[in-house]
Chain A
Amino acid sequence: MTPKTASAPMAAQTTTTLPGAEVLMRALVEQGVEVIFGYPGGAVLPIYDALFRQNHIRHILVRHEQAAVHAAEAYARSTGKVGVVLVTSGPGATNAVTGLLDALMDSIPLVCLSGQVPTALIGNDAFQEADTTGITRPVTKYNYLVRRPEDLAATVHEAFAIAQAGRPGPVLIDLPKNITVGNAPYKGADEVKPRVGKVQVEPDRDAIVRAVAAMKNGRRPLFYTGGGIINSGSEACEGLRKLAKLTGFPVTSTLMGFGAFPGTDKQFLGMLGMHGTYEANLATHGCDVLIALGSRFDDRVTGRLDAFSPDSFKIHADIDPSQINKIIPVDQPIVGDVGRTIALMIEEWEKQPAYEHKAELTAWWEQIEAWRALDCLRFNQDQAPDAIIKPQQAIQRIYELAQQTGRDTFVSTEVGQHQMWAAQFFKFDKPNRWLTSGGLGTMGYGLPAAVGAQIAHPDALVLDVAGEASTLMNIQELGTIAQYRLPVKLFIINNHYMGMVRQWQELLHGSRYSESYSDALPDFVKLAESFHAKGLRATRMDQLDDVIREALAHDGPVVVDLCVAEGENCFPMIPSGAAHNEMILGPEQEERGAKVTREGMMLV
């Protein structure tokens, strides 16, 4: 590894030389790092020693390295800062792999520091040696093995720059023990010219002009917004609100984009895609101008490609040129920061001749309202006191009662039906409040994510809407929660099934529920108590609200076992390989059966 930036000769007389671990600490402090999520081990002992002897950076000791990465992801996602992880060599680094890929898929800026055996031992199958840069190459935006002390400081500065530049992502720095023990020269961030690749921030003006001309020509327009807007920052989110108001166009969002546009706004149609709303998906199918802003036409969004939004002029704004035309051919690409794109679209909208299709837009809205009137998320909850709680009811009440607290609320989820219901029922009016594993769909994300969010926002209400199966994948983080007295509220939507798996088995595999039953579950209340948290349980309708209220009011960590109906399915649903206008609706809504194709079965 020889970053150009690091190979310039040192100005010997002005260079401070320190033990590598201290150089590392200094560089982290200079980068504004306040929190590291990590777990110690032999190869990182020098770094832990340097951590011990400083007081700028707080270390949060997780209970598993995967959790360190998810916590750092949520810290980053909820603050807009870079999340930092520290793990030891070998198993420490391999445990971090899932989290790194999760961050890569969801464009989360992270720097992961991993220990490595001394350079002289690399390649010898030394104790706890792993080819960490080899293993993590496909799961990081970039990675380094620091082989020379003089590269150390520059590498750290460059890593932070790369993590944040353009489309954000995780960067790993592998640190052989001799590098952290031995002396190394310090270099300030201003002495380093990082290679961040080719990042085009400023969009091409002509592309904006053409895009806005197409928008002005739209009779059935739709904004399709994604996580890129949240990554771009609060100005981009403000801009989107302004642009939507100015144009009067409807807005749908991907799973990653929640909060960029207010979820409670009339112009918001909810999520699109596989478990998106009826109105969002039919609008996507029927629109004549689709304005994709910081979204990437993921297969969960598009469904059957040749039937995706078939009649629309497609505008795609993204900072990553490789996303454009990757899946769906678009008519007007715009490469650049989506916040700048939105700002320029606003300018251009005001400059170009007035919008002439108000009447058609009104008709489009009438159509959308007609779709909305189907009330696709409605479910039938028996209100009898001893009735079984439906998972949808549980999640809706968690949302409503959390709202009533009036507190700033951050919500993480695990992966499964509960995640999709949370996406459907929770409304976010602010960005950075919704923490979920979108691209990778990592079960076990939610509890460590709640840790990261609560560390970043100690006074906020932090909830994890969890499934009983997912949450067991990182349940050990209740230990972290106890140690740091994090008042996280873990709501387990306990349907005794890997519900999402069960749903697919019901719909695609003749209801053969192969290995999807959550057998031998722990007693979550006792589990909570053994981890020094409050444990609560609701099994009947008349307990639901009380238990949620009690959990929300408790000034400490709570695990709530919400025992819900086992057989509920998450609707609407576009089966894989079907088009947006072939949604399966819930029993409460009119049945419009879509046939699941064989090809669709493979798309899983």
Chain B
Amino acid sequence: MQQEAPGSAVISLLVDNESGALGRIIGLFSGRGYNIRSLTVAPVDEHGLVSRVNIVTTGTLSDIRQIKAQIERLVPVSRVVDLSSEGPHVAREMALIKVVSSGEPRTEALRIAEAFRARAVDTTASSFVFELTGSSDKLDSFIELMRPLGLAEVSRTGIAAICRGPQTIQNN
């Protein structure tokens, strides 16, 4: 078997909102040794009966295909798409980033935050909490820039993803 280079993939799925459903998905990943880089989950239909789960995982193309096939076997899962292989998609995440500093680093942090369009959602004399939404790469580089400027704490949501254009997870 030739080994393709492992890459990252975004898998979105719809699952009945029942107790244990998330456990099934996570258990599948841990039990089969697949990697979860990030995972988000929330109900998405009007009655709150169906949740959407977005998982960022890594693997070769055949790993990802296998992951998708394994998820498809789960009874409460009604739809699975590998957004990274099925046309263009948008993936966004939000982060709250706490920076504790004063003087020149503090001014510099604020300047960079403006350039990134991060909002200061909490401000004290010695700290900021910035809220930043965007691609994971953008969040990564912002966090890297904050590191020497008093980066104290990071909280990230993990990505929410959706395909571009008129198609939906239901008809794609």
Contacts and interface: CB of A to CB of B under 8 A. Distances in A.
Interface in B60-96: 62, 65-66, 69-70, 72-77
A195 B76 contact: yes
Contacts of A134: 20, 23
Given A2-B18, A326-B66, A141 B75 contact: yes
Interface string B43-72: 000000100000000000010011001101
Most A CB atoms within 10 A — which of B16, B69, B73, B77? Answer: B73
A322 B16 contact: no
A1 interface: yes
Interface in B122-142: none
Contacts of B27: 137-138
Nearest to A324: B69
B22 to A, nearest CB: 11
A2 B75 CA distance: 13
A4 B72 CA distance: 18
A242 B74 CA distance: 35
Nearest to B80: A198
Contacts of A1: 18-20
Max chain B CB contacts within 10 Å: which of A143, A145, A197?
A197
Given A137-B20, A137-B24, A306-B1, A195 B75 contact: yes
Contact of A162 (B19, B49, B75): B75
Nearest to A198: B72
A325 B65 contact: yes
A150 interface: no
B31 interface: yes
B24 to A, nearest CB: 6
Contacts of B74: 197
Contact of A2 (B16, B72, B77): B16
Interface residues of A, number: 27
Contacts of A137: 20, 23-24, 27
Nearest to A165: B75
A305 B1 CA distance: 8
B28 to A, nearest CB: 8
Nearest to B21: A1
Contact of A325 (B18, B20, B66, B77): B66
Interface in A1-22: 1-4
B69 A145 contact: no
Nearest to B20: A133
Nearest to A195: B75
A80 interface: no
A2 B28 CA distance: 21
Nearest to B72: A198
Contacts of A142: 75
Given A2-B49, A138-B27, A305-B1, A322 B20 contact: no
Interface string A318-340: 00111011101100000000000
Chain B contact-residue range equals 20 to 34
A2 B24 CA distance: 15
A201 interface: no
Contacts of A145: 19-20
B75 A322 contact: no
A598 to B, nearest CB: 20
A321 B69 contact: yes
Contacts of B65: 325
A602 to B, nearest CB: 15
A322 B72 contact: yes
B165 to A, nearest CB: 24
Nearest to A329: B1
A456 interface: no
B72 to A, nearest CB: 6
A196 interface: yes
B172 to A, nearest CB: 15
Contacts of B19: 1, 145
Interface string A184-201: 000000000001111000
A196 B1 contact: no
A27 to B, nearest CB: 18
A244 to B, nearest CB: 29
Interface string B26-44: 0100010000000000000
A198 B1 CA distance: 29
Interface in A183-226: 195-198
Contacts of A133: 20
A325 B31 contact: no
Contact of A138 (B18, B31, B66, B72): B31
Given A162-B75, A195-B76, A322 B49 contact: no
Nearest to A142: B75
Nearest to A328: B1
A321 B72 contact: yes
Given A1-B19, A145-B19, A322 B70 contact: yes
B141 to A, nearest CB: 37
A322 B73 contact: yes
A154 to B, nearest CB: 13
A145 B21 CA distance: 12
A1 B49 CA distance: 11
Interface in A307-322: 320-322
B23 to A, nearest CB: 6
A195 B19 CA distance: 16
A3 B20 CA distance: 12
Contacts of A320: 73
A329 B62 contact: yes
25 contacts: A1-B20, A3-B18, A133-B20, A138-B27, A138-B31, A142-B75, A143-B20, A145-B19, A145-B20, A162-B75, A195-B16, A195-B75, A195-B76, A197-B72, A197-B74, A197-B75, A197-B77, A198-B72, A320-B73, A322-B72, A324-B69, A325-B65, A325-B66, A326-B66, A329-B1
Give me the 10 closest cross-chain CB pairs, A-B, nearest first. Answer: A322-B69, A142-B75, A322-B70, A321-B69, A197-B75, A2-B18, A138-B31, A1-B18, A138-B27, A322-B73
Given A137-B20, A322-B72, 12 more contacts: A1-B19, A4-B49, A137-B27, A138-B31, A145-B19, A197-B72, A197-B74, A320-B73, A322-B69, A322-B73, A325-B65, A326-B69
